[in-house]
Structure 1
Amino acid sequence: MGIKQVIVNNGRKALDLLKKWADEADEGVSVPVSERVLMVISDIEMPEMDGYTLTTSIRKDDRLKDLYVILNSSLSGGFNDKLTEKVGANKFLSKWHSEELAREIVKRIDEVESVNATE
């Protein structure tokens, strides 16, 4: 599995890009977004659109709703955990270190490869 990362600096740009890819799939010029995107990793505090709003928007779009979303923040506490769950993110990492994020990425890759192997 070749993995490519795309980095955008705000939630609005991330959502616009995901919707563009979904439109391309609808037009038949690209594979479905769920086959193109392994996961979305978003900071909660971003300009233009925060991670909570981004996740809510992803979950409301039928073409994007099944994407795996990890939210992270330098802020910890029960509030972020509860709001992350409410907006439908798959995982919340507070004050994460690169090793913890790497473990989550590898775990998600293993999950996807396991599902693909059974299909």
Structure 2
Amino acid sequence: MQHASIISGVPTPPPLLNSEIARRAVFDAPGRDWVFVEADTAAWQQWMRFCRQRTGRAPTVIHVVAIPPGKPVGRYRGRSLPSLHPPGESNLDRMRMAAGETLEDVMEA
């Protein structure tokens, strides 16, 4: 009982809105817990679309020494973003992009 009252007394931070996540992805410096997303991947396309819809701008591609998920350390094009995939992206969308479909193909379907 006492344990529950201590936990409930600690305020939890409010969840970030999608527009705030997009703003941070485009304008903020990468945080320690952000994930490197390589340019020209399905995840990068999702982030570009997500950020453009909410801020009108896409994340900037830079050359960095990084470790993309499942790859060795090396020099890659991309950027660290708040997570590997933006919130709300569907598995079907990820599968389409992984199969080589472009954003134009997805929007036409």
The two structures have a TM-score, normalised by structure 2, of: 0.28
Which structure has more relative contact order (CA 8 Å, sep 6+)? It is 2
Q: Which structure shows the bigger proportion of residues in helix conformation? A: 1
Question: As a proportion of its length, which structure holds more strand?
Answer: 2
Greater C-alpha Rg = 2
